[in-house]
Amino acid sequence: MRPHSTSLASRILIAVLGIIAVTMAMGFGLYASLARSTADSNARVRASDIASAVSDMAVVSTALASGDPRGVIRGIADKVVKDTGAAYVVVIGANGLRYSHPNPALIGKRVEEQVVALDGRTHTGVDNGSLGRSANARVPIRDSTGKPIGEVSVGILETKVAAQLGPVLTAAILYTG
């Protein structure tokens, strides 16, 4: 009598199912990576749009040029954070002083890093900051002659970006399954 062994058909079926499982897992991994990249990109664009809107406000550039003696910038930044859901809107003068920040103790203090938007360009990225990892944008604030006099830095926390991905990835997992 012959010992119990799997038939050739069974081994082929198992191999095909294994190939399908590996292919589906790789496809899901690529989809998740692409979805994450797209969400990060969208968050950077959103942060850039918010920062541009703040930098285009004449009241912000006028207040910054005068040293903001009445604290107008902080109120505007707080309202923009509340209205847009951004994690922070930080206005920084060319001298590196903060005129707004979610941590009031840092207002009036200098930033450690360079005020990069003084080059007149918008800078975006994903960085670790005092509030955590965020997609952010830094946009120049210009005076009436068009010269950069500071920057608006806006960030959207990665936890918000990840929360938006949850339902999308859950649906993809169910579909993959």
The DSSP call for residue 96 is S
pLDDT reported for residue 51: 96
Question: What is the per-residue pLDDT for 134?
Answer: 84
Query: For residue 153, what are its two tokens?
Result: 């830095």
Tell me the two tokens of residue 81: 């954070």
User: Bridge partners of 93?
Assistant: 150
Q: Which DSSP symbol is given to 103?
A: S
**Nearest Cα residue to 51 out of 148, 140, 130, 142:** 140
What is the per-residue pLDDT for 173?
81
Q: Residue-wise pLDDT tens for the chain (177 aa)?
A: 555 667 888 999 999 999 999 999 898 889 888 988 888 888 999 999 999 999 999 999 999 998 888 889 999 999 999 999 899 999 999 999 999 999 899 999 998 888 999 999 999 988 877 677 888 999 999 998 899 999 999 999 887 777 777 788 888 888 777
Facing residues of 128 across strands? 133
Query: What's this model's pTM, rounded to 2 decimal places?
Result: 0.79
Instruction: Order across the sheet with 148-157: list the strands.
Output: 88-93, 148-157, 132-142, 123-129
